[in-house]
Amino acid sequence: MSAEAKPRVVIVDDHRLFRAGVKAELGDLVDVVGDAGTVQDAVVTIAAQRPDVVLLDVHMPEGGGAEVIRRCAGAETPPRFLALSVSDAAEDVIAVIRAGARGYVTKTISGPELADAVGRVSEGDAVFSPRLAGFVLDAFAAAPEERLPDHGSDAELDQLTPREREVLRHIARGYMYKEIARTLGISVKTVEAHVSAVLRKLQLSSRHELSRWAVQRHLVSFDS
Amino acid sequence: MISAMSTEQAAIARGRPPLRRRPDEGLFGGVCAGVAARLDLNVRFVRIMAVLLGGVGGIGLAVYALAWALVPVAPESEGRARHSGGWREALMIILSVAAVQWILRRLGLGLGQSVFWPVVVGVCGLALVWRPTVGPPTPAPSSDGGRRSLRGVLRGAARLDAPRVILGAVMVAFAVAALLHSFSVAHSLGRAIGVVAIVAGVFGLLIVPWFVRQARNLGSERAARIREQERADVAAHLHDSVLQTLALIQKRSGEPQEVAALARRQERELRSWLHEGRAAPAADTVASALRQAAAEVEELHRIPIEVVTVGDKPLNASLEALVLAAREAMTNAAKFSGSNRVDLFAEVGDEGVEVFVRDRGIGFDTQAVPPDRRGLRDSIQGRMERHRGLARVRSRPGEGTEVELQVGAG
C-alpha cells in the first residue's frame, strides 16, 4: 500500500487516553493527521486538516458527535464520519447516524478491523456493526403505518426491501461483506450497495421509531 | 405558626409536654385538658377559667374554638374514646358561669352584641382558613423544627381547597368591617367593607409573591435533595462494582485473560445498570435469557460473546429449550473453535424465533462429527427436535461454524 492510498484520519474523543490508544492501534494502517478533545477543537482541526475520515466519539460535552457533524456540514468538502462509541443505546447510535455518520462501530473493535472500517468509509461505503444492524432491523420491524402523519414522507424510505433485510440479518449474525456476498450469491459491490441504501433510509426516513430515538437523544444533549 | 413552633421546641427542651389537645380526657375538644397538662394545673380549674372567659363577651369562646381548630391532637389520645359522663360536668360549669355572666350583664359589664358576633364570625373564618394546615399530625420535632413547620404550612396551603379558604376569608373580612363599623371608624357598614377590601387587597399583593417564592424555593430544595440522593446512589453503586473490579484488576495484572474477563463482566454489569433501570432484569424473556446465558458462557470460558437481539417475547417451554440449545452452541464455540469471539444473533418475528451462533474458529467437517461430540447431537439437535424446532449446523474446516436454531410461533 502506498503512502498516498492511506486514508487521512482525525480522531475526535474527549478522552485523551482513548485517542492515544486508538492512534497506537491503528499504527501504520491509516494516516492519523490530527486529534481533538472538544467539539470546537474538532471543527477547527477538521477545517485545517481536511481529513478523509473523522473517527467520532458519540458522547462528548456540548452536543457530542452529532454536533461536530452538523457544524462541519457547511464545509466545501466535508469529511466522512465514522462513529466510535462505548454506548449500546439505540438512541445514541441512531442519532449520530441520522446526523450524517456513515457508520458505527464499538470501541472494543480491534485495530485492523477499525482500519478496515475506516478504509471502507473513506471510499463512501457504509459500515454497520452487528449491533447497529440489529437496531435497524428493530426500528424497521414494525408495520410502516406507524409513520409520523404530517410528514408527507416517501413510503419507500420507511421500509426495507427483503434483500436489504437479508443483508442486515447476516451482518447481525457476524458475517463479513465477502461472506454475505458468497452466501447470497451476489457480488461484494451489491452487498455494499444494499448497505448504503439502508444507511440512506436510516438518515432520511421519518419512521416513527427513528424520529423518536433522534428526539430523545436531542433532549438528552440539551440537558447536558 | 413559626413562633408557636419554636415556643413548643423550647417547652420540650424544658421537659414539659407540648400543647396538645386531649379529646379522650376532655369534655368537648380536649383543649382544657391539654392546657392543664401543658401548664401542670388542675383540669377543673382550667375549665372554670375557660368558661368564665367565654362569658366575657364570648371572646373566650372564640379562643376555645380557635384552639380546637389549631392545636393538634396529642398522639397518645388519638383514636381513643372520649371519656363518658363528661357532659354532666360540662353542663354544671356552663350553667354556673352563665349565671355569673347574667349577673355581670345586669351590672352593666361585659361586651355588647355588636362586638361579640363579629368576633365569633371572624374567629370561625380564621379557623376555616387555618384548619387544614394543622389537620395532619405535625412531624416529630427535629433540629430544624422551625423550618419544617413552615414547610408544613406551605404543604398544607397547597392542599387547601379554594371554597373553604374563600369563605373563611370573607368571614374574617366581614368581621373586621363590622368591628370597624361598631367602633365608629367607618360611618357606614358599606364603607367599612370597602376599607377592609382595600386593606385585604394590598395585603394580598404583599403576601402572594412571598408565598410563590416560598413555594418555588421549596420545589428547588426538593429537586436538590433528589439530585443529592441520586448522586449518592450512583456513588454507592460505583463503589460496590467498578471500584471493586479495579482493585481486583490491579491484583491480577499479571494474568491478561483474567483481567479481560473481569473488565468484560464489569462492563456488562454497568451497561445493564445504565440501560435497564438499575436492577438486573429477571430472565423471563427470550432476549434477556439469551443475554444471561451468553454472560454465563463468557464467564466460564473467558471469551467475548457479542449478543444482538431483535424483538422479544416471554419465555415458554420450547423457547427455554431454544435458549439451552443456544447456550450449548456458545459453549461448543468457546471450547472447541479456537475463535477469539462469538456472535449471537436472535430474531423474534411473527413466524417464530431464530437464533444464530457464529464463530470464526477452526470449523469442522459436518459429515464427520466424532461420536463423542454428544453436545451437538443431544443437547442441540435432539433438544430442538423434541420441541418441534430445528437445528442446522454450517461449518467447514478453516471457516468457522454457525449453528442455526429455530422454533416456530405458538
- How far is A174 from chain B, CA to nearest CA, in Å? 6
- How far is A138 from chain B, CA to nearest CA, in Å? 5
C-alpha cell at A30: 491509516
Query: What is the side-by-side order of every strand in the sheet holding B389-395?
Result: B305-310, B342-349, B352-359, B401-408, B389-395
Contact (CB<8Å) A173/B306: no
- How far is A51 from chain B, CA to nearest CA, in Å? 31
| Residue A221: pLDDT over 50 | no
- Mean pLDDT by groups of 10 residues along chain B of 410 residues: 44 58 73 77 75 63 73 69 61 68 63 64 70 43 44 50 72 78 68 76 74 79 86 80 83 82 83 65 82 88 88 89 91 87 90 91 77 70 86 86 85
Q: Is residue B323 a contact partner of residue B315, using CB atoms and an 8 Å limit?
A: yes
CA proximity to B337, closest of B310, B316, B357, B313: B357
| Residue A195: pLDDT over 70 | yes
End-to-end CA distance of chain B: 67
Q: Is residue B136 a contact partner of residue B178, using CB atoms and an 8 Å limit?
A: no
Contact (CB<8Å) A133/B308: yes
Residues of chain B contacting A89 with CB distance shorter than 8 Å: 275
Tell me what pLDDT residue B370 has: 65
pLDDT digits (tens, 9 = 90+) for A109-144: 888 889 989 998 998 888 888 888 998 898 887 655
Contact (CB<8Å) B345/A89: no
Choose the closest CB to B343 out of A138, A141, A174. A174
Residues B266, B271, B276, B282: what is their CA dihedral angle, to the nearest 10 degrees? -30
**Secondary structure of residue A32 in the 3-state scheme:** strand
- Name the residue of chain A whose CA is nearest to B271's CA: A88
DSSP single-letter state for residue B361: S
Q: At what angle do helices B31-39 and B59-70 cross, to 10 degrees?
A: 80
Sign of CA dihedral B127, B130, B133, B137: negative
Chain A / chain B CB contacts < 8 angstroms: 40
Between CA B286 and CA B325 the distance in angstroms is 13
More confident residue, B84 or A102: A102
Contact (CB<8Å) A138/B343: no
Between CA B70 and CA B409 the distance in angstroms is 67
Cell 353542663, residue located: B91
Tell me what pLDDT residue B57 has: 56
Helix (H) or strand (E) holding B391: strand B389-395
Residues of chain A contacting B275 with CB distance shorter than 8 Å: 88-89
- Full DSSP string of A155-211: GGGGS--HHHHHHHHHHHTT--HHHHHHHHT--HHHHHHHHHHHHHHHHH---HHHH
- Name the residue of chain B whose CA is nearest to A89's CA: B275
Strands A53-57 and A127-128: unpaired
- How far is A224 from chain B, CA to nearest CA, in Å? 14
CA proximity to B279, closest of B288, B267, B265, B269: B269
- How far is A89 from chain B, CA to nearest CA, in Å? 7
A-interface mutation test, from B266, B306, B350, most A Cβ less than 10 A away: B306
Contact (CB<8Å) A138/B304: no
C-alpha cell at A190: 451489491
B-interface mutation test, from A85, A108, A129, A173, most B Cβ less than 10 A away: A173
Between CA B381 and CA B375 the distance in angstroms is 9
A219 band by pLDDT with thresholds 50, 70 and 90: very low
Contact (CB<8Å) A134/B271: no
| Residue ranges of chain A whose CB lies within 8 Å of a chain B CB | 88-89, 108, 130-131, 133-134, 137-138, 141, 169, 172-175
Between CA B338 and CA B303 the distance in angstroms is 10
More confident residue, A101 or B162: A101
A8 band by pLDDT with thresholds 50, 70 and 90: very high
- Name the residue of chain A whose CA is nearest to B400's CA: A175
pLDDT digits (tens, 9 = 90+) for A31-54: 999 999 888 899 999 999 899 999
Residues of chain A contacting B309 with CB distance shorter than 8 Å: 134
Mean pLDDT of A167-176: 92
Spatial neighbors of A147 by CB under 8 A, at least 6 apart, are: A153, A155, A158, A206, A207, A208
Query: What is the side-by-side order of every strand in the sheet holding A103-106?
Result: A31-36, A8-12, A53-57, A80-85, A103-106, A127-128
- How far is A74 from chain B, CA to nearest CA, in Å? 35
Residues of chain A contacting B306 with CB distance shorter than 8 Å: 130-131, 174
Q: Is residue A60 a contact partner of residue A13, using CB atoms and an 8 Å limit?
A: yes
Choose the closest CB to B310 out of A88, A134, A174. A134
Between CA A86 and CA B178 the distance in angstroms is 75
DSSP single-letter state for residue B243: I
Q: Is residue A170 a contact partner of residue B358, using CB atoms and an 8 Å limit?
A: no
- Name the residue of chain B whose CA is nearest to A106's CA: B306
Q: Supply φ then ψ for residue A55, to 5 degrees.
A: -85, 120
Residues forming a β-bridge with A106: A85
Tell me what pLDDT residue A145 has: 52
Helix (H) or strand (E) holding B31: helix B31-39
- How far is B356 from chain A, CA to nearest CA, in Å? 6
Residues of chain A contacting B349 with CB distance shorter than 8 Å: 141
- How far is B377 from chain A, CA to nearest CA, in Å? 22
| Residue A223: pLDDT over 60 | no
A147 band by pLDDT with thresholds 50, 70 and 90: very low
**Secondary structure of residue B252 in the 3-state scheme:** coil
Instruction: Please report the ipTM that was assigned to this predicted complex.
Output: 0.80
Contact (CB<8Å) B310/A141: yes
Strands A53-57 and A8-12: parallel
Residues of chain B contacting A104 with CB distance shorter than 8 Å: none
End-to-end CA distance of chain A: 43
Choose the closest CB to B358 out of A89, A138, A173. A173
A-interface mutation test, from B273, B291, B308, most A Cβ less than 10 A away: B308
- Full DSSP string of B48-116: HHHHHHHHTTTHHHHHHHHHHHHSPBPGGGTTPPPPTTHHHHHHHHHHHHHHHHHHHHHTT-S--HHHH
Choose the closest CB to A141 out of B271, B311, B358. B311
Tell me what pLDDT residue B294 has: 92
Tell me what pLDDT residue B138 has: 40
Instruction: Cite the beta strand spans of B288-340 per DSSP E.
Output: 305-310
Instruction: Cite the beta strand spans of B139-209 per DSSP E.
Output: none
C-alpha cell at B65: 374554638
Between CA B151 and CA A105 the distance in angstroms is 52
C-alpha cell at B19: 400543647
Residues of chain B contacting A88 with CB distance shorter than 8 Å: 271, 275
Contact (CB<8Å) B271/A131: no
More confident residue, A213 or B140: A213
Residues forming a β-bridge with B348: B353
Contact (CB<8Å) A89/B310: no
| Alpha-helix runs per DSSP H in chain A | 16-26, 39-49, 64-72, 90-99, 111-122, 130-139, 162-172, 177-184, 188-204, 208-223
Q: Is residue A104 a contact partner of residue A93, using CB atoms and an 8 Å limit?
A: yes
